[in-house]
A and B are shown apart, each in its own frame.
Chain A
């Protein structure tokens, strides 16, 4: 109990609370802008955390995380343009509600739902993480390696339209991570004699490049087509919004929603904890369940406030859930938690079972910080969502240069290094090209963080087994994980082939 109280006292310090707010507000703003995700918010704002000590930096990151995931609902409701993928389900009923003049109510319910989702998932996380970490501490390095490999395989597979491409992206990322000084033996790998490359590809530029700069180039390319359409409204990422209505839900209405919200929060927490399943899935599953169990399912999609509540609770509930495997196992569940994990690594922490053993003075403030981040979010959301949404109406010619400049200068700022800036640029180009060819970019980011961890674990295991590869299948746990991994790869390849075959046959039929 002492630790928890200490953590409370730490977080309650005005300066720390300030940093939570400093994270939440920009997080909401970036999350609100369609096309910019919570991942990007963390990547872009990461450089600002370097000037801070560990705990304030982490609190700020948590704030960005919570704000970013929430922010998407604002534009989802007001202009039918979800700011984040997780808010797509919110738009289904949120936007119709807004059109009917109940935008204010929809926003309020979304905010409150997000808040409850965040709180419930934070609570689940606080209890579950130490248990999972404890369990994982007993893993041998062989078993842990297989767990990481399995987690990676799942995440790579579900990342994009094509599973094959997701896996290739992932492996590419793992290869990128091998560049530089080897961890165990003091040799340089793939540095081609360039001494600067001994440090390999640093995390921050890789992330900022892949997620922010690539997006900038993509937006610029898109502006060409938009300009040709000759529509002025395409200048802005979202059009100016309609009348909001100042309505706030009544207590009776909120009361009626409470079961939906709680149920969706629990669903979101569990889905968030699964590798590969993110806010999008959580929101839609919660939405679907709410519709299924509703007394008025036919109203869903036409402006049913239950839909908004379910979608947003589910969406925000992933914040706590996703942190469970990320903190306790060191295996992130999706791109957002991957960036967060990278941020923790940069701060010198080693997420994984040992984190709970060695760094409790950092973990518990983080847990408490999650609660406060949600509190800040609900306050800011209820009072200022309308104003925050204005940022989404910024012209592209303002936003795009801003993102690019922040990315490049932010990357430089970490060590006053133009090498970092160059890496940001190169990975931006790489990301842009990959997106063009429909390769998902998130797996690369994930792989760059997890690659060294997996490799170290792998080689430690092999050293222990004196080179025998059997160590990865010798224990029941690792053998099961190994089989699951193979099965996942085989199954996803099979599904891919089947999909292609169906597309082929479908086309053939139409031609006849």
Chain B
């Protein structure tokens, strides 16, 4: 497949970066392990296993990088026009809306929602005790539903609000009443 070529290259570049990240992680682990006490029988101490793992991780990461480098060495025997066509095909396959606006813009388009979701979840954690169970659960539920909902109009928003109320009440009953878990009251 023609457009596979670019995909493979992109994947290979990503793999190299990830491989380097993991090697750095392994090095950090290895260095940190020297802070741990070393008993008389060194191999039975707390540092031994992490060091073994760090070595294994470095080894596998090197294999990963090596693999990726080999992939990148693929010869490019195409004209500029062909490359452009392929890039277009690749972007269309990614179902990205505006190929003319470049990679970064389209990356944001694609990852905007998950990033918002991640941020919202973090806020949920941060303010769970402060705002209390009811407000937190209702809010996050509504936000995520709105993110996922494809058709935003008055009707669907109303449905989502009703849904969030039901979910909040249901979950409260399930966790706080049936399972007797103490939930923070927060602001209420």
A positions within 8 Å CB-CB of B: 48, 51, 162, 164-165, 167-168, 171-172, 174-175, 178, 182, 184-185, 187, 189-190, 213, 216-221, 223-229, 232, 234-235, 395-398, 400-402, 404-406, 408-409, 412-413, 416, 418, 421-422, 425, 428-429, 432, 437-439, 455, 458-459, 462-463, 466-467, 469, 493, 496-497, 500-501, 503-504, 507-508, 510-512
Question: Which B positions have Cβ atoms within 8 angstroms of A?
Answer: 1-2, 4-5, 8, 11, 14-15, 18, 22, 25, 29, 32, 36-37, 39, 41-46, 48-50, 53-54, 56-57, 60-61, 63-64, 67, 70-71, 74-75, 77-78, 95, 97, 109-114, 117-118, 121-122, 124-125, 128-129, 133, 137, 140-142, 144-151, 156, 160, 163-164, 167, 171, 175, 179-182
Chain A residues lying within 8 Å of B163, measured Cβ to Cβ, are 397-398
Q: Give the one of A213, A220, A232, A429 with max B CB within 10 A.
A: A220
Known pairs A223-B148, A507-B74; A190 contacts B57 (CB<8 A): no
Q: Are B46 and A182 in contact (CB under 8 A)?
A: yes
Contact between B43 and A217 (Cβ–Cβ < 8 Å)?
no
Q: With A and B bound together, what is the CA distance between A462 and B46 in angstroms?
A: 12
Q: Is A220 in contact with B22, judged by CB distance below 8 angstroms?
A: no
Q: Across the interface, do B46 and A216 meet the contact criterion of CB distance under 8 Å?
A: no
Q: Which residues of A contact B156 (CB under 8 A)?
A: 397
Q: How far is the CB of A155 from chain B (nearest CB, A)?
A: 15
Shortest distance between the CB of B1 and any CB in chain A (Å): 8
Instruction: Chain A residues near B140: list those with CB within 8 A.
Output: 401, 404-405, 408
Measured between beta carbons, the chain B residues less than 8 angstroms from A458 are 49
User: Which residue of chain A is the closest to B114 with respect to CB atoms?
Assistant: A221
User: A507 and B8: CB pair below 8 A?
Assistant: yes
Whether A438 contacts B78 by the Cβ 8 Å rule is no
CA distance A408 to B125 in the complex (A): 8
> A223 CA to B109 CA in the complex, in Å?
12
Tell me if B121 and A408 are in contact (CB < 8 A).
yes
A184 near B44: Cβ-Cβ < 8 Å? yes
Tell which of B22, B29, B43, B60 has the most Cβ of chain A within 10 Å: B60
B49 near A405 (CB under 8 angstroms)?
no
- Bound complex: CA of A418 vs CA of B123, how far in Å? 12
Is the CB–CB distance between B144 and A220 below 8 Å? yes
Known: A167-B56, A171-B56, A404-B144. 11 other contacts (CB 8 A): A190-B29, A224-B113, A225-B110, A397-B145, A397-B146, A401-B167, A409-B133, A412-B128, A428-B121, A496-B63, A507-B4
Min C-beta distance of A469 to chain B, whole Å: 7
- Whether the Cβ atoms of B61 and A168 lie closer than 8 Å is yes
Verify B63–A493 contact, CB threshold 8 A: yes
Contact of A48 among B25, B49, B179 (CB under 8 A): B179
- By Cβ-Cβ distance, the 9 closest A-B pairs, closest first, are A401-B144, A397-B149, A227-B150, A467-B41, A182-B46, A221-B114, A401-B141, A397-B145, A462-B44
For B15, the chain A residues whose CB sits under 8 A away are: 437
Q: Are A405 and B137 in contact (CB under 8 A)?
A: yes
For the complex, what is the distance from the CA of A51 to the CA of B124, rounded to whole Å? 25
* Chain A residues closer than 8 Å to B36, beta-carbon distance: 182, 187, 189
DSSP majority for the A interface?
helix
How far is B55's CA from A174's CA once the two chains are assembled, in angstroms?
A: 12
Evaluate contact between B95 and A228: CB separation under 8 angstroms.
yes
* Nearest CB of A to B75, in Å: 7
Task: Judge whether B141 and A178 touch: CB under 8 Å.
Answer: no
CA distance A224 to B150 in the complex (A): 8
> Which of A164, A190, A404, A466 has the largest number of chain B CB atoms within 10 A?
A164
A421-B148 in contact (CB<8A): no
CA distance A219 to B22 in the complex (A): 26
Chain A residues closer than 8 Å to B75, beta-carbon distance: 508
Of all chain A residues, the one with the shortest Cβ separation from B18 is A437
A409 engages B125 (CB within 8 Å):
no
Complex-state Cα separation, A437 to B14, whole angstroms: 8
Given A178-B50, A178-B53, A401-B141, A500 and B95 touching (CB < 8 A)? Answer: no
Assess the B43–A467 pair: CB atoms within 8 A: yes
Set B57, B70, B97, B117: member contacting A216, Cβ < 8 A: B117
A319 to chain B, nearest CB (A): 27
Cα distance A397–B75 in the bound complex, in angstroms: 46
- Our pick among A182, A220, A409, A439 for the contact of B147 (Cβ within 8 Å) is A220
A511 with B53: CB separation less than 8 A: no
Given contacts A223-B147, A402-B167, A459-B49, contact A168 B43 (CB under 8 A): no
What are 20 A-B contacts with C-beta separation under 8 Å?
A175-B29, A184-B44, A185-B39, A189-B50, A221-B111, A234-B150, A396-B148, A397-B145, A397-B148, A401-B140, A409-B133, A412-B128, A421-B125, A432-B118, A437-B18, A458-B49, A462-B41, A493-B63, A496-B63, A508-B75
Chain A residues with CB below 8 A from B50, complex form: 175, 178, 189-190
Q: Give the residue name and chain of the B residue nearest to A182 (CB).
A: B46
The reply to whether A500 and B41 contact each other, CB–CB distance below 8 Å, is: no
- Complex Cα gap A360–B64 (Å): 45
Q: Contacts of A168 on B, CB cut-off 8 Å?
A: 22, 57, 60-61, 64
